[in-house]
Amino acid sequence: MITLLQMPNDEVKNQQSEVAVSSLIETSQNQGISFLDFDTLLNMLDASYDSFSNCNASLGEVLTDTIEKKMEVEVDVQTIYEDILSEGSDKIPKLNREMHSRYIHEMLNRPLPAPFSKLDASKTWIAFWLMNSAALIDNLNTKEQNNAAKQLMYFYKTSSGSKNTVAGFGGGLHQLPHLAASYAAVLALLLSKNENAWREIDTQKVKKWLLQCKNKDGSFSMHVGGESDTRAAYCALCIAQLLNILDDDLRKGVADWLIKCQTYEGGFAGAPGDEAHGGYTFCALSALFILLNPDELMVSGLNLEILIKWTVDRQYSLEGGFSGRTNKLVDGCYSHWVGGTVALLELLINYNKYKINDPNKYLSLIDRQRLQNYILCCCQDTFGLRDKPGMNSDFYHTNYVLCGLSMCQHFQIYDPSKAQKYGNAFSAYPIEIEQPNTITILDDNHVLGIDAIFGVPYGYALNMYTFFSNL
Reference 453, options 298, 297, 311, 291; nearest CA is: 291
d(CA 105, CA 177): 28
Cβ neighbours, 10 Å, residue 172: 19
d(CA 222, CA 160): 15
- Give catalytic status of residue 277 as yes or no: yes
- Give catalytic status of residue 334 as yes or no: yes
The full DSSP string for 131-152 is HHHHHHTT---HHHHHHHHHHH
The residue annotated as part of the active site, out of 37, 331, 381, 451, is 331
The full DSSP string for 353-398 is IS----GGGPPPSS-HHHHHHHHHHHSB-SSSB-SSTTSPP-HHHH
The residue annotated as part of the active site, out of 50, 76, 394, 415, is 394
Report CA torsion sign: 278, 279, 282, 283.
negative
CA distances for 201 relative to 244, 248, 293, angstroms: 12, 21, 29
The residue annotated as part of the active site, out of 277, 314, 368, 386, is 277
3-state secondary structure of 430: strand
Q: What's the number of CA atoms in the CB half-sphere (13 Å) around residue 247?
A: 9
- Give catalytic status of residue 154 as yes or no: no
- Give catalytic status of residue 55 as yes or no: no
DSSP classification of residue 90: G
CA distances for 317 relative to 3, 20, 102, angstroms: 22, 19, 32
- Give catalytic status of residue 387 as yes or no: yes
Cβ neighbours, 10 Å, residue 82: 15
The residue annotated as part of the active site, out of 37, 229, 387, 451, is 387
Cβ neighbours, 10 Å, residue 437: 8
d(CA 150, CA 267): 39
Angle at 107 between CA 462 and CA 157, to 5 degrees: 55
The residue annotated as part of the active site, out of 102, 193, 208, 328, is 328
User: Could you tell me if 286 and 428 are in contact, meaning their C-beta atoms sit under 8 angstroms apart?
Assistant: no
Is 134 exposed, middle or buried, given 0-12, 13-18 or 19+ CB atoms closer than 10 A? buried
Phi, psi of 57 (to 5 degrees): -95, 140
- Give catalytic status of residue 460 as yes or no: no
d(CA 107, CA 417): 40
The residue annotated as part of the active site, out of 333, 378, 379, 408, is 333
**Where in the sequence numbering do the catalytic residues fall?**
277, 325, 328, 331, 333-334, 387, 394, 397
